[in-house]
């Protein structure tokens, strides 16, 4: 699903603001999004093992706040700033879901619907306040705050859902296959007119989280747990390098910047 799909049937006179704070939705968007989800999953686990859960959550929270402050300060979309914020949301969103399960003993079967309700609440408040959930409308501070609250909720939900399916018998590889199939559903539904563009986008956005996290976990965990035993550190590093490569390419080519913004 690309920006062309999201702008399909947009009401007359509704044009995308030239100072949008989010990238165009291209194939690169979805690739980097999946990479950030996997990197956030293994980075969170790596930091928890290296520093302990509480210090890791503290560091992750501080880094997230710093990344979001920078993102909110800039006046338009900047690739490396935006994707740094997404990475930190990914890391902290994973920690939030893990704290409920590991620290407080909340089962994934409980935390998954909890985060689902939290996401629904954010969507409801956003729509009631702004009358739209479209990412093409992110050109005011309030809408940007709603956007990042939504992104954080999707990461927490996706983390819990991915861990839920992995621990009920599917394993990490089985979960990855499940979500790889699931992510095609909103695209097909939208193509056949059964789902509007905004709903299809956010549905796919949520599914990218357990998809990327399941693949990264499968690569990192031991053979005894059904993985490739590559280790948390190497997987985190390799996915980070991939993210840097794609973001650097976009920063140079500006293929994820709208025509109006590109010429501004």
pLDDT digits (tens, 9 = 90+) for 127-165: 999 999 988 888 888 999 999 999 988 888 888 888 889
pLDDT, residue 37, reads 93
**pLDDT above 70 (res 6):** no
**For residues 248 and 156, which has the higher predicted lDDT (pLDDT)?**
248
Average pLDDT, stretch 22-26? 92
> What is the C-alpha R_g of the chain?
18
Lowest average pLDDT, out of 12-21, 142-151, 255-264, goes to 12-21
Under a CB-based contact definition with an 8 Å cutoff, are residues 222 and 19 in contact?
no
Instruction: Give, as one character, the DSSP assignment of residue 251.
Output: H
pLDDT digits (tens, 9 = 90+) for 186-213: 999 999 989 999 999 999 999 998 999 9
pLDDT, residue 117, reads 95
pLDDT, residue 11, reads 42
**For residues 15 and 204, which has the higher predicted lDDT (pLDDT)?**
204
DSSP 217-234: HHHHS-GGGTS----HHH
Q: Burial, 2: exposed, middle or buried (Cβ in 10 Å; 0-12, 13-18, 19+)?
A: middle
Q: Whole-angstrom Cα distance, residue 150 to residue 155?
A: 9
DSSP 154-192: HHHHHHHHHHHHIIIIIHHHHHHHHHHHHTHHHHHHHHT
pLDDT, residue 230, reads 96
Q: Whole-angstrom Cα distance, residue 215 to residue 179?
A: 10
Residues with Cβ < 8 Å from 110, sequence gap 6 or more? Answer: none
Under a CB-based contact definition with an 8 Å cutoff, are residues 183 and 207 in contact?
yes
What is the length of the chain? 264
Task: Name the 3-class secondary structure at 245.
Answer: helix
Average pLDDT, stretch 94-118? 83
Instruction: Give, as one character, the DSSP assignment of residue 103.
Output: I
pLDDT, residue 20, reads 74
Whole-number average pLDDT of the chain: 87
**pLDDT above 60 (res 215):** yes
pLDDT, residue 188, reads 95
pLDDT, residue 149, reads 94
């Amino acid at each position: 699903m690309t920006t062309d799909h999201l702008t399909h049937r947009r009401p007359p006179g509704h044009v995308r603001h030239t100072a949008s704070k989010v990238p165009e939705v291209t194939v690169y968007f979805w690739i980097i999004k999946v990479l950030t989800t996997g990197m956030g999953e293994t980075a969170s686990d790596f930091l928890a093992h290296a520093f302990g859960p509480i210090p890791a959550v503290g560091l992750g929270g501080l880094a997230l706040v710093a990344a979001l402050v920078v993102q909110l300060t800039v006046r338009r979309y900047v690739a490396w700033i935006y994707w740094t914020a997404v990475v930190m949301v990914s890391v902290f969103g994973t920690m939030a879901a893990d704290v409920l399960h590991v620290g407080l003993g909340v089962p994934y079967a409980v935390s998954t619907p909890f985060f689902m309700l939290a996401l629904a609440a954010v969507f409801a408040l956003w729509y009631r306040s702004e009358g739209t959930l479209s990412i093409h409308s992110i050109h005011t501070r309030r809408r940007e705050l709603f956007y990042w609250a939504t992104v954080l909720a999707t990461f927490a939900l996706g983390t819990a859902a991915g861990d839920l399916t992995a621990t009920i018998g599917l394993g990490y590889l089985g979960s990855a296959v499940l979500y790889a199939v699931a992510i095609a559903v909103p695209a097909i539904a939208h193509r056949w007119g059964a789902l509007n563009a905004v709903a299809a986008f956010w549905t796919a956005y949520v599914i990218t989280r357990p998809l990327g996290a399941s693949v990264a976990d499968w690569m990192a965990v031991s053979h005894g747990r059904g993985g490739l035993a590559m280790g948390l550190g190497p997987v985190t590093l390799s996915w980070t390098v991939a993210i840097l490569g794609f973001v650097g390419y976009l920063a140079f080519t500006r293929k994820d910047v709208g025509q109006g913004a590109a010429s501004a």
